[in-house]
Amino acid sequence: MPQSESEENKLRYRRTQSVTRAEEITTKEEKQRRVQPDKPCHRPRDSLFSWSSGFDNFTGLVNWGFLLLTIGGFRLCLENLLKYGIRINPVQWYNVLSGKNEGEGHPTLMLVAYSIVPMSMCLLLEKGLAADIIPETAGMFSQIVNILVLILLPMVILHVKGHAFSIIGATTVCFLYSILFLKTWSYVQVNMWCRKSFREQQKPRKRRPSISIAELQNHAGHSDDSKQTDKDVPKLVQYPNNLNYKDLFYFLGAPTLCYELNFPRTTRIRKRFLLKRLLEVIFGVNVLMALFQQWIIPSVRNSLIPFSNMDVVLATERLLKLAVPNHLVWLCFFYLTFHSFLNLCGELLHFADRNFYCDWWNANNIDTFWRTWNMPVHRWCVRHLYIPVVQMGYSSRKASVIVFFISAFFHEYLVSVPLQTYKIWAFMGMMGQIPLSSFSKTMQRTFGPRMGNIVVWASIILGQPLCIMMYYHDYVVTHFKDALTSEEYNDS
């Protein structure tokens, strides 16, 4: 055994020597070539498109792609205008958004105003639990019922009196009550954590050993110093002093879904920043409505007949044609919501945490995308769903599936309930993100991060218009059955 080990060491040493010797020979050869009278200009190097070259500056190609995309989009805009004319009509949007298409009594406004009732009920229950007036079990059961009513109330009312609501009004109600559901969940759970900690602090403790007079004087001296240094520091709100309407309504208006007793605050409102965000919101809303009215609606209507007849070729052509305007609208909606509107709310309320999104456009797999594109929802899922489920003894894999299941429910809820077309396309699309995540990670490991990022972008660009076409088809079939036979199909 010792002889064999020594022989292996000699072989390794010789192999190392041979590599070093080869590099030395190559270096000497290059030096000799440089001094030759033929003025050599070649040296060993890889092509820039080779992975081994280490070249990564493709700014010019990115500019080229952006310019080409702009030209293609401009051509599509001209084609749309030549075919359909100018369809933008702000009066129609005003009629829809103002509720003139709704029944008497403005049911959307009534449901929005009624949302104060379950939130007040939640606050009263928390006050009763904090004062030990309500037993813990009964109080938490009442809170769970109150939270479930929040999410089920729009579903029941829209099912019974859906004809009295416009699509915009129904969507607004469902979106508002979904946000209140998540905020109430966080409010109840955080107060439960604080209540447990508060009660533990109120328990009698064992008597501490006596201390000397010198230690007592030193402690007093340190406390005086700390009072002088901390006199300008604002005092933190402690439980149960947070249980009031002012604190609750601030949380309801704050651009976050996760409740805290003491949110980070800014010291002032930046007027120029606020004005920029306000103008972006006003301009962005009009751009979204114009794109939707001019581009999305005609493309979706023209996809109805191919989808009904299961014409795969024409349906695919319509899907690809709808992908570009839909993706443009989605990007505008992302910027308008997560940058302009949430920053506007944060600036008005002095809310300092503006981490509403991360660099999701660089995501190399689906998991990274869902963790970075919507930070308020991601933070809520991790804090109030994923970590508690893991602490209950479930594996991280099962906890992730539960998170996707809840997310899939809300995606379906926000589409099916306003349209009153109860299908499972959005739910299946979200649950399909689990196998798609495994596929994107496989592509990332096999072909590199760039291919994983391409898979992410492909799922975003193609998945949403397919879902829109399926829901539009089902909506027309459910509510306008005669449209399939009476509508003229205009081939582009």
One digit per residue, the tens of pLDDT, for the chain of length 492 reads: 444 445 544 444 444 445 566 566 667 777 777 777 777 777 777 777 776 767 777 778 777 877 877 777 777 777 767 776 776 666 666 665 555 555 555 777 888 888 899 999 999 999 988 888 888 889 899 999 999 998 998 888 888 877 777 778 888 888 999 999 999 999 999 999 999 888 888 776 655 555 555 554 555 555 555 555 555 567 888 888 888 999 999 999 999 999 999 889 888 889 999 999 999 998 888 888 888 777 777 777 776 666 666 667 777 777 777 777 778 888 888 899 999 999 999 999 999 888 899 888 888 888 888 888 889 999 999 999 999 999 888 888 888 888 888 888 888 888 888 887 777 777 888 888 888 888 888 888 888 888 888 888 888 888 777 777 667 666 666 655 554 444 444 444
Does residue 301 lie in a domain region? Answer: no
Res 2: pLDDT: 47
Q: Which residues of 204-232 are buried (b: 16+ CB within 10 A; e: fewer)?
A: eeeeeeeeeeeeeeeeeeeeeeeeeeeee
Does residue 449 lie in a domain region? Answer: no
Does residue 19 lie in a domain region? Answer: no
- Is residue 404 within 8 Å of residue 430, measured between CB atoms? yes
Q: Where are the alpha helices (DSSP H) in 292-358?
A: 297-302, 304-308, 312-334, 342-348
Closest residue by Cα to residue 168 from 106, 105, 84, 253? 106
Does residue 413 lie in a domain region? Answer: no
* Helices 167-202, 245-253: crossing angle, 10 deg rounding: 130
Does residue 196 lie in a domain region? Answer: yes
CA distance 315 to 331: 24
Does residue 475 lie in a domain region? Answer: no
Domain count, the chain: 1
Res 205: pLDDT: 61
Give the residue numbers annotated as catalytic, written as ranges: 411
- Which structure tokens are listed for 485? 């036979």
Task: Name residue 3's amino acid.
Answer: Q
Is the peptide bond preceding residue 90 cis, with omega within 30 degrees of 0? Answer: no
Provide the domain limits for residue 154.
105-200+236-263
Res 284: pLDDT: 87
DSSP state of 55: -
Res 16: pLDDT: 47
Does residue 245 lie in a domain region? Answer: yes
CA distance 473 to 286: 26
Closest residue by Cα to residue 299 from 278, 279, 280, 314? 314
Longest pairwise C-alpha distance within the chain:
100
Does residue 132 lie in a domain region? Answer: yes
